[in-house]
Amino acid sequence: MSELATIARPYGKAAFDFAVETNALDSWLSQLTFAAQVSENETIVDYLTGGASVEQVTSLFLNVCGEQVNSQVQNLLKIMAENRRLQALPHVLTEFCLLKAEYEKTIEVDVTSAVEITVEQETKISAALEKRLARKVKLNCKVDASIISGLIIKADDMVIDGSIQGKLNRLAQTLQS
Q: Give the pLDDT of residue 49.
A: 84
Query: From the CB of residue 35, how many other CB atoms can be counted at a distance below 10 Å?
Result: 26
pLDDT tens per residue across span 2-58: 688 899 999 999 999 999 999 999 999 999 999 999 999 998 888 888 888 889 989
Return the pLDDT at 138.
Answer: 95
- What's the pLDDT band for 177 if we cut at 50, 70, 90? confident
Asked whether the beta carbons of 152 and 169 are under 8 A apart, the reply is no
**Model pLDDT, residue 52:** 84
Stated as kind and residue range, the H or E segment containing 143 is strand 136-143
Domains of the chain: residue spans and CATH: 2-102 (1.10.520.20), 106-176 (3.40.30)
Mapped onto helix, strand or coil, the DSSP state of residue 108 is strand
